[in-house]
């Protein structure tokens, strides 16, 4: 020990202790990082999956005789002033927004006289006004009473709901299908008329053609009227039956059965019943359209918009990135210039995404889009067609944002292809291009694919630039539909990331929508994380495969 101590001129024991302590602190830093990741992932998983889980409805009878029915969301002990003892209180989701005006209520534990879980308490998910908590009483059709009493209504209601859901589907098909088609046609005819105005035809010719168009429009409008009548009849039929339900407080409420999405009795569902419900709800979130300005219902258009935008982006980014990488690695003369270009391209990946958004707005939307409008869509001006944010511009902006990722990964892939392989191919008489096309690129494909996946994952999660170049809160139509030309590149679209921002921060009832945002966030990070893991494992596989073989 003595001899060792003089090595660094200090007391070995002390310095060793200090070194060990600092090592532990470094370990602590790492542990903290790991804890953070785990905490965030589990936070998202817990809250996100919790959104789908149905809790029991509990009916509380308070000491003053009033009753409340709700799901317990939170329990806390709160001290109003430091001197007073803490008060235990419960936060209930009480639903019935149309009656109480609030989704949540706080009750003090001290004021509770009794509590129970009534088997026949129902949770009615409605198209409007959120959920209803209460008890079934009667089922009416006009003045006719179809059923009375909780059990009888429950039995009648379930088949009726299935029928109503089918009716709602038919109404939606009519609205979106036939009526949508007619509106679309009328709009096109109107634009055709404007185009005639701008064409500068001789007066008689103009009048004749306009009369033709007017006739067509009139025919369409008559058809529209017919369908609109049919629609209003169907709507009437939909709301024929009404359900009379009673809240825990004793108020009765008439709910049109056509406006009910589902009715469940949470307290009579067992664990597996609830699990089934959870799975069903996850499915609904994915396939349903949003309701109540995005705060309820599903997120299908956002998923669709995200996926489609990412695919469009991939179509743009794959050839561009690979071409640039092949040029840099195989054709360009390796020197200072190429080295600088490589650094520049690399660093472009570090340029803030919002800068790309600004560029996309100025270049794609205003410059290119504006020019396209002036050349090809003058009849619609001043309403812009391409001169406003849309899915094409969003995809191209993201392509620019992610092309450095693909270039870097593809270059890495190309560089990893052993020289022996190339030389072998060249020695067998293949030209350089043939070697690249048939030998090098296939061998580098995993690297290119890794880059593509990373790019797509980044694009799926990126929000800031898209806020500027094409995303909207609520897009009435998908960018892909059954009307020619089928793919509508100029349309605005919905996006999962923007959905999170919008619903989480701009909706009037943030408290009630936070769970939905958690679910959306969970979906988004699942997609992004799976893609990233895929890319990582692909890359590792690639590295192992070529490790040591690169001569």
Partner 1 sequence: MSNGNDQTPWRRRAADRVAHWVVSAGGLAIIVSILGILVFILIEVWPLLIPARVTVTRQLVLPGPAAGALVADEHRTHVAALGRDGRIRVVRLSDGRVVAIQDLLAAPERSELVDMQVPPESTTLAASTRDGRVVIAPVAFTVTFAGQSRVVTPEIATPVALELDLERQPLQSFAAQIDGDGNATAAAALADGTIAVVRRSMTENEMTGETTESTERASAQAPYRITHLVLDASQQNLYGGTEGGEILWWRLQEGQISEMQASSAGRSPITALNLLIGGRSLVVGQQDGALSVWMPVSHGGEADDEQSASARMTRIRDFPAQPGAVRLIAPSPRRKGFLALGDRQLGLYYSTSHRTLWTGTPPLAGASALVATPKDDGALVAGSGRLASLDIRNPHPEITLQTLFGKVWYEGYGRPDYVWQSTGGSDDFEPKLSLTPLLFGTLKGTFYSLFLAIPLGVFGAMYVSQFMHPVYKRTVKPLVEIMASLPSVVLGFLAGLWLAPRIEHAVPGLILAVFLLPLAVLLAGWGWSKLPRAFRGRFPLGTEALGFVVVLALGIWVCFALERPFEHLAFDSNFQHWLLQATGLAYDQRNAVVVGLAMGFAVIPIIFAIAEDAFTNVPSNLVAGSLALGADRWQTVTRVVLPTASPGIFSAVMVGFGRAVGETMIVLMATGNTPIMDWDPFNGFRTLSANIAVEIPEAPHGETLYRTLFLAALLLFVLTFVVNTVAELVRQRLRERFSQL
Q: Which is nearer to partner 1, 141 or 529 (CB)?
A: 529
Q: Of the two residues 19 and 276, which places its CB atom closer to partner 1 in the complex?
A: 19
Closest to 108 measured CA to CA, from 89, 81, 80: 89
Binding residues among 432-491 for partner 1 as defined by CB under 8 A: 432-434, 436-437, 457-458, 460-464, 467-468
Positions in 59-88 near partner 1 (CB under 8 A): 82
Can residue 532 be called a binding residue for partner 1 (CB under 8 A)? yes
Question: Does residue 335 interact with partner 1 by CB under 8 A?
Answer: no
Which of 517, 519, 538, 542 binds partner 1 (CB under 8 A)? It is: 517
Which of 494, 499, 501 is CA-nearest to residue 476?
494
- For partner 1, the closer of residues 147 and 398 by Cβ is 398
Name the token pair of 1.
């020990």
Task: Rule CB under 8 A: choose which of 145, 158, 198, 343 binds partner 1.
Answer: 343
Q: Mask of contacts with partner 1, 310-329, x by CB under 8 A?
A: ----------x--xx-xxx-
Cβ atoms within 10 Å of 225's Cβ, excluding its own: 11
357 binds partner 1 (CB under 8 A): yes
Residue 382 exposed, middle or buried by CB count within 10 Å (0-12, 13-18, 19+): exposed
Report helix, strand or coil for 445: helix
Applying CB under 8 A, which of residues 234, 332, 421, 478 lies at the interface with partner 1? 332
272: its two tokens: 């597996």
Stretch that binds partner 1, among 160-168, 169-177, 285-293, 342-350 (CB under 8 A): 342-350
Nearer to partner 1, 18 or 279 (CB): 18
Among 218, 219, 237, 536, binds partner 1 (CB under 8 A): 536
**Cβ-based neighbour number of residue 236 at 10 Å:** 10
Cα–Cα distance, 283 to 272 (Å, whole number): 17
**Distance (Å, whole) CA 495 – CA 279:** 23
Q: Which of 200, 429, 485, 548 binds partner 1 (CB under 8 A)?
A: 429
Residues 389-408 that bind partner 1 (CB under 8 A): 400, 403-404
Instruction: DSSP for 189-212, please give it.
Output: HHHHHHHHHHHT--HHHHHHHHHH
Phi, psi of 80 (to 5 degrees): -75, -45
Q: How far is the CB of 401 from partner 1 (least distance, A)?
A: 10
- Region from 160-168, 238-246, 253-261, 336-344 binding partner 1, contact rule CB under 8 A: 336-344
Question: Is 34 or 222 the residue whose CB approaches partner 1 more closely?
Answer: 34
Q: How far apart are CA 305 and CA 176, in angstroms?
A: 18
Closest separation between CB of residue 34 and partner 1, Å? 5
Q: Is 501 in the site for partner 1 (CB under 8 A)?
A: yes
Nearest-approach distance from CB 46 to partner 1, in angstroms: 11
**Judged by CB under 8 A, which of 258, 390, 470, 497 binds partner 1?**
497
Among 158, 222, 428, 550, binds partner 1 (CB under 8 A): 428
Nearest to 395 by CA among 296, 348, 462: 462
Nearer to partner 1 by C-beta: 31 or 237? 31
Helix, coil or strand: residue 508: coil
457-473: string of b/e by CB count within 10 Å (b at 16+)? Answer: bbbbbbbbbbbbbbbbb
Element (H, E) at 422: helix 419-427
Query: Which of 504, 51, 548 is CA-nearest to residue 286?
Result: 51
Beta strands in 265-341 (DSSP E): 290-291, 296-297
CA gap 225, 232 in Å, rounded: 11
8 binds partner 1 (CB under 8 A): yes
The nearer residue to partner 1, 24 or 376, going by C-beta atoms, is 24
Nearer to partner 1, 65 or 382 (CB): 382
């Amino acid at each position: 020990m003595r001899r060792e101590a003089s090595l660094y001129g200090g007391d070995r024991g002390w310095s060793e202790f200090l070194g060990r302590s600092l090592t532990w602190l470094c370990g602590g830093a790492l542990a903290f990082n790991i804890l953070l990741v785990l905490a965030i992932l589990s936070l998202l998983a817990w809250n996100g999956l919790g959104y789908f889980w149905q809790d029991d409805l509990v009916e509380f009878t308070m000491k003053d005789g009033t009753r409340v029915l709700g799901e317990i969301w939170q329990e806390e002990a709160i001290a109003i002033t430091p001197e007073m003892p803490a008060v235990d209180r419960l936060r209930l989701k009480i639903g019935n927004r149309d009656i109480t005006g609030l989704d949540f209520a706080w009750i003090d534990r001290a004021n509770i006289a009794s509590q129970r879980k009534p088997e026949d308490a129902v949770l009615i998910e409605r198209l409007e006004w959120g959920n209803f908590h209460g008890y079934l009483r009667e089922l009416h059709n006009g003045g006719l009473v179809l059923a009375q009493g909780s059990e009888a209504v429950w039995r009648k209601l379930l088949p009726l709901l299935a029928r109503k859901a089918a009716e709602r589907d038919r109404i939606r098909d009519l609205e979106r299908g036939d009526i949508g088609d007619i509106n679309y046609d009328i709009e096109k005819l109107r634009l055709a008329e404007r185009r005639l105005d701008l064409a500068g035809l001789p007066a008689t010719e103009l009048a004749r053609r306009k009369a033709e168009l007017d006739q067509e429009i009139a025919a369409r409008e008559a058809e529209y009227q017919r369908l609109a009548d049919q629609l209003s009849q169907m709507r009437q039929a939909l709301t024929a039956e009404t359900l009379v339900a009673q809240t825990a407080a004793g108020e009765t409420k008439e709910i049109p059965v056509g406006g009910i999405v589902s009715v469940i009795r949470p307290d009579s569902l067992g664990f597996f019943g609830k699990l089934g419900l959870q799975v069903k709800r996850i499915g609904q979130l994915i396939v349903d359209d949003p309701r109540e300005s995005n705060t309820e219902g599903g997120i299908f258009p956002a998923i669709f918009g995200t996926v489609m935008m990412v695919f469009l982006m991939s179509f743009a980014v794959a050839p561009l990135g690979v071409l640039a990488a092949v040029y840099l690695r195989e054709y360009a003369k390796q020197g200072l210039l190429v080295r600088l270009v490589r650094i520049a391209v690399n660093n472009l990946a570090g340029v803030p995404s919002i800068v790309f958004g600004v560029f996309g707005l100025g270049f794609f939307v205003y410059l290119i889009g504006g020019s396209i409008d002036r050349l090809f869509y003058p009849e619609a001006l001043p309403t812009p067609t391409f001169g406003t944010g849309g899915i094409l511009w969003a995809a191209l902006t993201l392509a620019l944002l992610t092309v450095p990722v693909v270039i870097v990964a593809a270059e890495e892939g190309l560089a990893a292809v052993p020289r022996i392989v190339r030389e072998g191919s060249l020695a067998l008489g293949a030209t350089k291009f043939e070697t690249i096309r048939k030998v090098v690129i296939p061998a580098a494909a995993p690297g290119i694919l890794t880059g593509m996946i990373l790019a797509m994952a980044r694009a799926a999660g990126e929000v800031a630039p898209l806020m500027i170049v094409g995303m909207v809160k609520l897009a009435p139509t998908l960018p892909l539909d059954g009307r020619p030309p089928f793919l509508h590149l100029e349309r605005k679209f919905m996006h999962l990331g923007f959905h999170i921002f919008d619903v989480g921060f701009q909706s009037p009832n943030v408290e009630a929508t936070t769970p939905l945002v958690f679910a959306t966030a969970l979906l988004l990070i699942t997609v992004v994380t799976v893609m990233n893991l895929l890319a990582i494992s692909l890359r590792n596989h690639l590295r192992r495969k070529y490790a040591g073989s690169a001569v």
